[in-house]
Every structure is written in C-alpha cells, then in structure tokens.
Amino acid sequence: MMNKRFDRRRQQVFAALLFSLLVAVPVQARDFRDAVDDAVRSLATARAGGKGSRENQQAVITLATAGEKSLLPLLNGFENATPEGVNWLRNTFEQIADQVRGSQKQLPAAELEDFILNVNHSSQARRLAYESLLLQDPGLRKRLIPAMLMDAGSEFRRDAVSMLLEQAEDASADAAVSLYRRAFSGAVHEDQVSKIAERLRAAGEDVSISQHFGFVTTWNVVGPFDNREEKGFAQVFAPEEELQNSAEFGMEYTGMNGPVKWQVLQSEDDYGIVDIAGQLENYKGSLMYLTSSWDSPVGQSLQVRLGTPNAWKLWVNGKLVFEREEYHRSTRMDQYIVPVELNAGPNLLVVKLCQNEQTQDWAQKYQFQLRISDAAGAGVLPGQAVAQNVYAEEDSR
C-alpha cells in the first residue's frame, strides 16, 4: 500500500513542477514518443532513498507537457517497475488525469477501457485506470464489473462479488442460493468468502472454505528440536540436512526431549490452521519440521501464501524460498506471499516452524496456515493447472 506521506510529498512536488511548465521548453513533436518513453522508464526504475530524483522531476515535467497522451505509457510502465517506481508512476498518472479533468477535457476513454479489459497488463495499473475512468463515466461499473468475477485482479473480483451479493439480498431463496454459489466461485477475499459460506450453509449447502482457498491441510511433522535462546533458527538439524542433501527423510531423530518420529497432522480448520500447541503440545523453546507433497499436472508459476505468528523457513523442492526470524507478531491469512515455480508431478513443501520461550499469554500461539494460489489469490488445488495474470497483487510480504 502506498505510503500516505510519500503520496502527499509527490503531489506537492508535482504541483510545483506543473507551475514550472510555464517556462519549460515544450517537447518537440519529432521527439515526442521517445521523450515520453524515456520519462516513463526513468520513473519506473526509481529507487528508494531519493536516488535519481532530479531526473524523475524532469521526467514528470516531460509527461505533464504531453498531458493525456502520456497516460497509457504511464500505465504500461507498471510492468517490471520497482516499488518506488510504481509510486512515481501512480502519482504522475493521477495528477495528470486530474489536470485533464480540471481543464474540461476527457480522458481517452476507449484506450483506457481497452487497457482495463486486457488481463495481461499489471493488475495495479488496470485498477488505477478503472478508478480514474470511473470518475468520468459512472456507468463503467455496471458495464464492466459483472464480467470480471474470474478476473486476474483481486479488486475487480471483489467488485463483481459485491454486485452478486447485492442481487442476492433482493432475490428469492432459490435464486439467492444460485447467486451465492456463483459469487463463491470468484471470491478471493476472506470477509466475502466467510459471508457467502455462512449464507450457503444456512441454506443447507455443503461448502468447504479450506478447499476454496487451496489450503494444504495434511502434513507430516517431526520434532520438537531445540530452539532455546532462539538458536535453532539458524541451526541445521537432521531433517534439514537431509533436505539439503536431497536424501530421503529418516525414520527417527534425536529431538530436544529424546527420540522423535514423523507423525501425520491433519487440519480440520476452515482456514487450514495447523496448530502445534493445540494438536500436539506447546513445546516452548522448540522448533518443528513439517512436510507435505503438492502434485501439479504441469510446471507452473504459483504463489505460496502463509500466515503465522512464529519464526519460519520455507523450502520448495529443496530450495529455500523464504524465511522470517520474527516471533509473536500479529498474524493473518496471506500474511506472506511467496512466488514459486512448481514442477510437473509431486512438489515437496517443507516448513521449519520455531517457537521461543516467552511466557506471556499472547506468546503462546504455535501455528501456521499455508495455501497455494494464483496471482489473484484464487486457491489452487493439487492436480489443477491455471492460466493467470503474471503480475501479483501488491501485498504484505
């Protein structure tokens, strides 16, 4: 999410730059396209810490001079832009769009609508174009959103689901169930899924939230191993050593309290929570290894989405793809989003979950939830192959 202070600063800079346009040298027609492309590229590659800010200010002047003709190039610039670059592009687009509307001109509606409908573009850029064009054309929502239930952008899906829920409120019982079922198929936000599932269950329908979101619910677990003084996070224990050496896992190991063996842990929770403290024991100052196999019919790019209040590491097919050494922070669904490349056939997921020795009530959770999704956040089950937007939604990682 864009920092509000950063946003205000960019708007102030932009206003000052627009004033300077009164004395700026206009872009020559023969250099127009190259100048706009160079300006967009400068903004898109911006880095944190203000590096290149002088060049970016000049780029904003160039794009503001071009006016509405720079809007589509700005949107296209979202592809492969840095996080800082996205902020520059977004602010510049919004300010130029405001200037166009303020001068009683029209945004290029046909071009923007085509951009919105092309799911191969960045979801962030498509949403920015939609929200800007919506100010000019309030009928855009009813015209576009109903067909976006399975869109690559999660916010478009949210809008489409909302429209179906509005219809269901005024429908007969049978019609409402049909509308809820349809809404459920495209819902990717926890609050909407929970509401729809509640309505469907009340109507006697069988609903699996866990399957809908693609939670991995069956794990093999072994432990506890020693994590006293939080030393175990960096230490390589036997299961991890076997993973790194591509060997088969052993049958028995020496744990912190004696011999330990693998056992099956099954989550029955709607949101796939695997609860070590609730289902096994809250071994303070310990760590556990958990493994699961996820079958893919083809090689594909998907996401692992994980939530936990504990320190953790994640390996996919023997490769460490993410780690976070932080204990007892707040937790939520999809707290971490990790893009992964899955192979055709079985893919081995391994989680190292670490608990420390804090005794406060709020420090007793020893759990995680993990699911497989596409870039829009739609759950993917083993055996499924998906066509997806290659641009992930901006989210906490």
Write down the pTM of the prediction.
Answer: 0.86
Q: Which two tokens stand for residue 374?
A: 């596409």
The model's pLDDT over 230-240, given as tens digits with 9 standing for 90+, comes to: 999 999 999 99
Nearest Cα to Cα of residue 338 among 312, 313, 306: 306
Q: Is the pLDDT of residue 217 over 90?
A: yes
Percent of all residues in the chain with a pLDDT value above 70, rounded to a whole number: 88
Element spanning 300, H or E:
strand 300-307
pLDDT of residue 322: 97
Token readout for 266 is: 């099954």
pLDDT tops 90 at residue 248: no
* Structure confidence by residue, pLDDT tens digits, 290-346: 999 999 999 999 999 999 999 999 999 999 999 999 999 889 999 999 999 999 999
| pLDDT score at 11 | 57
pLDDT in tens, 345-366: 999 999 999 999 999 999 999 9
Mean pLDDT of 45-74: 88
Between residues 80 and 211, which one has the greater pLDDT?
Answer: 211
Cis bond upstream, residue 346 (ω within 30): no
Q: Residue 9: is its pLDDT beyond 90? A: no
pLDDT confidence bin for 51, thresholds 50/70/90: low
Domain boundaries along the sequence of the chain: 4-138, 148-207, 213-373
CB-count burial class (<10 Å; 0-12, 13-18, 19+) for 393: buried
Flag whether pLDDT at 185 surpasses 90: yes
- The CATH code for residues 213-373 is 2.60.120
13: pLDDT confidence band, cut at 50, 70 and 90?
A: low
Give me the chain's average pLDDT, please.
90
